[in-house]
Amino acid sequence: MTDRSVNAIILLGGNLMNKQTIQGKETYELLIQCALEIASEGGVKNITAGRLASKAQVSKSNVFNHFKTVDGIFESLFSYLIEYQLRELESAEFEWIDDFIAAISKQICFEDDDSNKFARVFLSFFNESMFSERMQMLFKDYLSKTIDLMQSKIKNCKDNKADDSTVRTIARLIVVALDGFGLHIIMTNDTEVYKKAWKIQIESIAQQLKV
C-alpha cells in the first residue's frame, strides 16, 4: 500500500469521525430539547427514556448512549437550564447598579414562550429537589454559582458602597426573590402585578448597595 493510499484512508477515517461527532452533538441537542418539551408539559418526573426516545424518534439505546441513566437526563437538562439562565449575565459587564438591576429584572418577565417554558421546567426541578438528595446537591451548586456571579457583578459596579459581606447577602436575597417571583408569576399568570411588586422590592435592594 502506497503512502498516498494510507493518507487517503486516514483522511477518510477522520472525516467519518467528524461526521459522527457532529451527528452525535445534533442528537444530544435534539434529546435535550425534547426532554425540555416533555418536562414543560408534565414536569420533570414525566421524563422517561421511552417517552424521550419516542418524542425524538430515536431508539432507547440511542438515548442511553448519550445519558447512560435516566438521572443523567435530569442532570443534563438541569445543567442546560442553568447555562441558559446565566449566559447573558456571565457575559455582561455593568458600570452602575441600575444597569445590573435592569438586566436581572428581565428574568421575571416571561414574555415569550421559551422563557415561560424554561421557568416552568426550572420550578419543576425545584419541586423535585425537596424529595431527592441528588437534586438538592445540584440546586446547592446552582445557588452557589449564581450567588458568586451576582456578587462579582455587583462589586464591579462603580456606585456600589456595600462591603463584601453585605453584597453577598444581597446577592443571595436577589436569587431567592427571583425564584419566588418566578413561581408566583407561573402559578397566577399575572405578570403585571408581580412586575410592580418586583420593582418595589428591587429598588429597596438597590438602595442598600448605594449607601
Over range 21-38, report the average pLDDT.
84
Q: Return the H-helix or E-strand segment holding 184.
A: helix 164-188
DSSP code at position 109: T
Q: Kindly indicate the confidence band of residue 20, based on its pLDDT and cuts at 50, 70 and 90.
A: very low
Is pLDDT at 13 greater than 60 in this prediction?
no
54 belongs to a structural domain:
yes
165 belongs to a structural domain:
yes
Query: Are 185 and 90 in the same domain?
Result: yes
Q: Are 58 and 23 a contacting pair, CB within 8 Å?
A: no
Q: What is the pLDDT of residue 108?
A: 74
Bigger pLDDT: 161 vs 16: 161
Is pLDDT at 41 greater than 50 in this prediction?
yes
87 belongs to a structural domain:
yes
Question: Which of 14, 38, 68 is the last residue before a domain boundary?
Answer: 68
Q: Which three cell numbers stand for residue 141?
A: 451548586
CATH of the domain at 8: 1.10.10
> pLDDT tens-digit profile of 120-162?
898 899 888 888 888 899 889 999 999 999 999 999 999 999 9
Q: What is the pLDDT of residue 19?
A: 43
**Which domain, by its residues, includes 59?**
1-68
Query: Are 86 and 61 in the same domain?
Result: no
